[in-house]
Amino acid sequence: MWNFFILLVFCCCLGAMSRANLEQSKLQCACFNATAPESCTNNKITCDVEAGKVGSCFVVWSSDNVTGENRVSLQGCFINESCNNTECVSDGPTRNNVNYCCCRGNMCNSKFKYVPLPPSPEELEEVVIPAPPSDKPSENLVIVIVACCAVVIVLVSLGGVFFYRNRKTAMFNEVPTNEPDISSSSLTLNSPRPIHLIEQKARGRFGAVWRAQFKSDEVAVKIFPLQDKDSWQSEQEIFKLPRMKHLNILEYIGVEKHSETNEFWLITAYHSLGSLCDYLKAHTVSWSELCKIAESMARGLTHLHEEFPATKADGLKPAVAHRDFKSKNVLLKADLTACIADFGLALIFEPGKPCGETHGQVGTRRYMAPEVLEGAINFTRDAFLRIDVYACGLVLWELVSRCTEHDGAVPDYTLPFETELGIHPSVEEMQENVVTKKMRPRIPDHWRSHSGLNAICDTMEECWDHDAEARLSSSCVMERISQHTRYPTTQLFIESNTDTLIKNRTVSM
């Protein structure tokens, strides 16, 4: 009798598994594709699942903040994706109100919902959605179900290794998955959602910058949309060059790809003071603060520009031109030292190789050198580095304009040429004034009442010289500013001979 009962249970299990396999082989899911509606017939799709593989349904949708209405952008099925939910539930946290969920079972994605996680960034574990309640079965049926489950668990465990190696086969070209691809110097990603976005801090040409949390570390996440993937890859390429780690270059942490939202993340150190531009809008600076910011900024630019030969420990570090140097791309650390960021337009100069095909007129208009505005760039390494130095002179002007050490009043912060040309000058306006009229930001006489500021004014004028070959190098800018940091009472004496000679003499106090 007992043997007969065991045989009966085994047959029931085989029958149940056969029915499940039959159902799974013809898994049906709700179907919708906003970009290609014709791909779905009657809002339903049959996912043909091969023997030994697993099929699941998914939904990608967004929610309207005002009306609360859900708008589906993609529904369908995919093969061999690990998804054990019986209901289609997104546990967030969401960004831009975009949600994604998956589930197992015929048409299980026809209904979906968002159940938010608690806001704490430490709680990153995956939420397990319980199965819906069912009517209480009879006692004998419970025994059969338990026995079947035990057999199924054993079989699934034995086949798990084999199934794990199979690659995903999608029913659509766009498969909503989260595929981390991160190379990290300090963070170890061991959670499905390791980075928690907290607050959007800025939005620029290539995407938004967020303050984010990874466990106990605060990081910055720059999010690139799909159309700016090339800039995301360019920034990685710069950060990954040999010997790019420097106190005055923004610290690189890693990258992530997010296929479900077609976004690409660049993860770096976070600096709460933000950009130099934003800081100067809200703060004035003393002479010592100006020197600290200017010197560290020049050190970062010098490191970027310099080429370091290969050693036994490190490869060759080529010279790099930033090509969009401005106060928005200089970040301030807590101690007011600067670091350079945003390398989406940067150009690498490999020794012995030409610059290649590159567009010359790139960057921010008001910071463009005359030769860039005129379209008369000499496509050599030194020519591109001098373009950065021109922009550096404008940033020095911004710094001095907010310094409290001169005899005059400190005006509200303005961008270079903002007083003369307004907040949004056109390329034609910049060409007429910077190239034709050789206009530069005005240097008031009272700025020169302080010997150190007077020297900085001379430096900025040599940085933005109309003749590119007459401009200072970034290393020379760094040395000049360092000199005044070490000797704050330096005064300038001008002696005339055949040529004008400038000497530095320390005044005894």
User: Which residues are catalytic, by number?
Assistant: 324
Q: Give yes or no for a contact between 45 and 76, defined as CB atoms under 8 angstroms apart.
A: yes
Cross-strand pairs, 103: 57
Neighbours of 300 (CB within 10 A): 25
User: For residue 323, what are the contacts with CB-CB under 8 A and spacing of at least 6?
Assistant: 345, 346, 347, 362, 363, 384, 387, 388
Closest to 44 measured CA to CA, from 33, 29, 58, 57:
29
Q: State how far Cα 21 lies from the chain centre.
A: 44
Query: Hey, what are 102's tokens?
Result: 């998956």
Closest to 345 measured CA to CA, from 388, 405, 379:
388
How far apart are alpha carbons 196 and 217 in whole angstroms? 11
Q: Give yes or no for a contact between 403 and 446, defined as CB atoms under 8 angstroms apart.
A: no
Query: Hey, what are 486's tokens?
Result: 């070490």
Vertex 394, ends 390 and 399: CA angle to 5°? 140
How far apart are alpha carbons 402 and 284 in whole angstroms? 5
Vertex 73, ends 67 and 74: CA angle to 5°? 140
How far apart are alpha carbons 37 and 449 in whole angstroms? 71
Q: Give yes or no for a contact between 26 and 46, defined as CB atoms under 8 angstroms apart.
A: yes
Output phi, psi for 119, to 5 deg: -70, -10
How many residues are present in the chain?
509
Vertex 381, ends 375 and 384: CA angle to 5°? 40
Q: What are the DSSP E strand ranges found in 231-367?
A: 252-258, 263-269, 319-321, 330-332, 338-340, 347-349
How far apart are alpha carbons 26 and 41 in whole angstroms? 16
Buried b (16+ CB within 10 A) or exposed e, 355-394: beeeebeebebbbbbbbbbeeebeeebbbbbbbbbbbbbb
The residue type at 374 = E
How far apart are alpha carbons 405 and 408 in whole angstroms? 9
The DSSP element (H or E) to which 403 belongs, if any, is none
The DSSP element (H or E) to which 456 belongs, if any, is helix 451-463
How far apart are alpha carbons 481 and 460 in whole angstroms? 11
Radius of gyration of the chain (CA): 31
- Terminal Cα distance for the chain, rounded: 111
